Amino acid sequence: MAIHAFGPFRLDAEAEILFRDAEPVPIGRRAVALLRVLLQHPGEPVSKDALIESAWSGLAVEESNLTVQIAVLRRTLGKEAGGTRWIETLPRRGYRFIGPRVTIEVADQPTKFPAEATPLAPAKKPTIAVLPFQNLSDDPGQEYFADGMVEEITTGLSRIKWLFVTSRSSSFIYKNKQVMVKEVADKLGARYVLEGSVRKSGNRIRITAQLIDAETDTHLWAEQYDRLIEDVFVMQDEITMCVIGAIEPSLRKAEIDRVKRQRPKNLNAYDLVLRSLPFVFAHLPKDSAMAIPLLEDALNLQPDYAAAHAFLGWCLHHRFARGGLYEKDRIAAIRHARAAVALGNDDATALAVAAQVIARDEHDTTTALKLFDRALALSNSNVFALSLSAGTLAWMGKAELAIERAQRALRLCPFDFYNFRSHYALAIAHFSCQRYTDALDAARSALNANPRFSTARAVLAAALLRVGRMGEGKAAAQEVLESEPTFTIHALSLVAGLEPAVFKSFADTWRELGLPH
């Protein structure tokens, strides 16, 4: 077995272990694969394509994954003086190793470590392990803060009903140990791993966190938080909310991408719901027509699946509102929403989506607001509960509360695709308060996030008219009809007319712009 030695480092590629002064250094198998190729060609250029093929053979990955893994290697090698310069970037060509002379040692057997536990079979639903955060401070007393962060994040993630979270006791067996993410994930039966660190310096504290897909060894999300240490527990709560708010959409996207790669015959109820979500989120009848049979199949497999009921009710709502105003669709939407409430008392997303349908199709805003509040009590960073309640509140004329919730959703989940709903809520709220320039900006942001969202385009048209740009307003109104030929003011009033005065302020502009009544 060949071992590549250079400086104080030794790479056992077969065992996927890098050592520094005989101590194992966890860098992940993708980084090991890249380093192996670079060490096999010291001083020679290695193309990006060759490196990607070595680490992600047969997979289609973005070049940013290669950049992340090269950064991991440089950070690790940087523990030795000048080590960050040992891997040189060759613009438009690739990378090359220009570090210490590489020698080959021969070992009879690859390095093995005793197994600590039998690996668990991966769960059908995704499982995440939150590893103990490293305390990088000089102050050992900060251990309690780092451990508290992990405990709060673990508790918060456990409220996401479609996600399994490994117990704190299971994850904490790795405290103060150097670990390899893939190995830990296999032993804990986890598909995703969250790791991080805490560093205190003077009166400031820095927390870093990164989310890793253990199956592909790719980084899904990473963030750094810098705060003043004033009220340490308030800061802990704030950062916990930010981490959970960012992780949920990152995991949701990763799960949707994963299930797209599966053969349809392998799908269970959970996978069917995931497969439906891109169509559900489009909010158009033709997309709802794609989602409805998937959700019905999921409910045939699992009749008590609250989220499937909620999303099916939502699709039926879209078909009712934009697909002919058929009463049977409205009644079915309400029935599935009510089923989601009955079955999903502890599922924040199901409650929020059901509340949206109950508000819009049943006009039972009292129940809907209670359900939104219950969803936020379960998970105060749930993007569906925040953004959907913001839209409902805006149409009810409760503008300031709508703005507060929409802005909180955008702050917690800045890169979530679903942010178009928050921008849409802001546009309605600002318009109803006669802040037309702000409404215009928010409507544009909603359309930038989702160009197919015709209702947001109608709000844009109204705002353009009110700021004196009649020509642009009429052009936007025409685009509404091009994207949704069945659009009428009356049809929208049936689902958005929760407060007559608010809806009238829009309807007056739409009639002036020539949209059909």
Percent of the chain with pLDDT over 70: 89
Query: What is the torsional sign of CA 474, 477, 479, 482?
Result: negative
Which pLDDT band holds residue 263 (cuts at 50, 70, 90)?
A: low
- Least reliable range by pLDDT among 208-212, 313-317, 431-435: 208-212
- pLDDT given at position 222: 87
Annotation: CATH topology of 127-260: Rossmann fold (3.40.50)
**What pLDDT digit, counting tens, does each position of 369-389 carry?**
999 999 998 888 788 999 999
Of 366 and 132, more confident: 366
pLDDT at 123: 39
Q: State percent of the chain over pLDDT 90.
A: 40
Among 163-167, 278-282, 347-351, the least confident range: 163-167
Tens of pLDDT along 458-512? 999 999 999 999 999 999 999 999 988 889 999 999 999 999 999 999 999 999 9
Q: Alpha helices, DSSP H only, in 450-486?
A: 454-466, 470-483
CA distance 465 to 454: 17
496-506: pLDDT as tens digits: 999 999 999 99
What value does the mean pLDDT take over residues 127-137? 86
- What does the block give as tokens for 446? 């909603």
Domain 266-512 belongs to what architecture?
Answer: Alpha Horseshoe (1.25)
Higher pLDDT, 323 or 260: 323
pLDDT of 117 strictly over 50: no
Cα 323 from chain centroid (whole Å): 30
* Residues carrying CATH 1.25.40.10, the chain: 266-512
Indicate the range of 124-138, 229-243, 498-512 predicted with least confidence.
229-243
Only one residue has tokens 């989120």, namely 281
Backbone angles phi, psi at 513, to 5 degrees: -85, -5
Tell me, what's the pLDDT at 106? 63
Tokens of 340: 């989601």
- Residue 113 is predicted with a pLDDT of 36
Question: For the chain, where do the domains classified as CATH 3.40.50.10610 start and end?
Answer: 127-260
**Contact, 389 vs 372, CB < 8 A?**
yes
Which residues are within 8 A (CB) of 424 and not within 5 positions of it... i.e. 6 or more apart? 391, 442, 443, 446, 453, 455, 456, 459
pLDDT for the residue numbered 264: 60
pLDDT band at 169 (very low <50, low <70, confident <90, very high): low
66-70 long-range CB contacts below 8 Å, 24 or more apart? 66/34, 68/218, 68/219, 69/28, 69/30, 69/31, 69/34, 70/34, 70/95
**Pairing state between β 9-12 and 17-20:** antiparallel
pLDDT tens digits for 85-95? 999 998 878 99
What single string gives the DSSP state of each residue in 278-315?
A: HHHTT--HHHHHHHHHHHHHHHHH-TT-HHHHHHHHHH
Q: Which fold has domain 2-106?
A: Arc Repressor Mutant, subunit A (1.10.10)
| Residue 120: pLDDT over 90 | no
Residues 300/327, Cβ–Cβ less than 8 Å: no
DSSP state of 109: S
